[in-house]
Amino acid sequence: MTLNALTTPNDSAAIFESLNGVREAEKGKSKSVEEMGSEEFLTLMIAQLENQDPTKPMDQMAFMSQLAQFAQVSGIQELNESFNGLNNNLTGQQALQASQMVGRSVSTSSNVGNLGVLGTTAEGEQVMRLSASVDMGNNASGGTFYIQDMSGQLVFSGNLPPGSGSLPVVWDGVDAQGNALPPGQYRISAEVTRNGSTKPASVYAHEQVVSVEIGAGNAVILNLANGQSLGINEVKEFF
């Protein structure tokens, strides 16, 4: 064999195109180093060594640079695959934990609560309940919470004891005149007294979780009995 019979593909791209011309004909382009698998990359390297011109041997630094490039890309791909697997695993665990919330109540950012049937008495009478939490702040000496229907009419008010932080309140659906009101939505508001001054307080209605789903970006979504949906990270408290 003469030197003239040897190919001189010192350019890795030229060798690669010759190795992958048939395979990539449909695509109209050759793969980059980032797109190659380990077998293809080694095939390319062997071809470079076998076909180099003895009078112009391949630059060892170029070979090492290509090898380092492939190792880096391969490592990044493996790392991405590991992170994707970890993310899917964590999302599955989060969804499983969230599914245990079905049937329980959560505190929402809305002050509109739902008066619903809690159960029945031994005599067959319905027991109604609307629940919420009032933010008492620090060292409140007491306060008042108010229940209004959705037309704005005040139907009930009750006293709040002294306290700090989040205080649960419950209304049984009976108005100030002792009449049982129908199930549905009612607005809750509150005032607290602190250092002799009375100010409005934040109120957070409680709603029952009826189902759980995975939303966009693997976010865990809680579907509530009132038709509202919210992310699990939006929940203030679980009950």
Per residue in 143-198, pLDDT (tens digit) is 999 999 999 999 999 999 999 999 999 999 999 999 999 999 999 999 999 999 99
* Burial of 117 per CB tally in 10 Å (0-12, 13-18, 19+): exposed
| C-alpha R_g of the chain | 35
- Over residues 201-227, mean pLDDT: 86
| pLDDT for 4 | 40
Give the HSE-up count for residue 84: Cα atoms under 13 Å, Cβ half-sphere: 6
Going from the N-terminus, what domains does the chain have, and what CATH number goes with each?
3-99 (no CATH), 105-238 (2.60.40.4070)
As a whole number of angstroms, the distance between CA 228 and CA 235 comes to 12
Q: The whole model's pTM is what?
A: 0.58
- pLDDT score of 52: 61
Q: Are 136 and 99 in contact (CB under 8 A)?
A: no
The residues with which 178 forms a beta bridge, in sequence order, are none
Containing H/E element for 114? strand 112-120
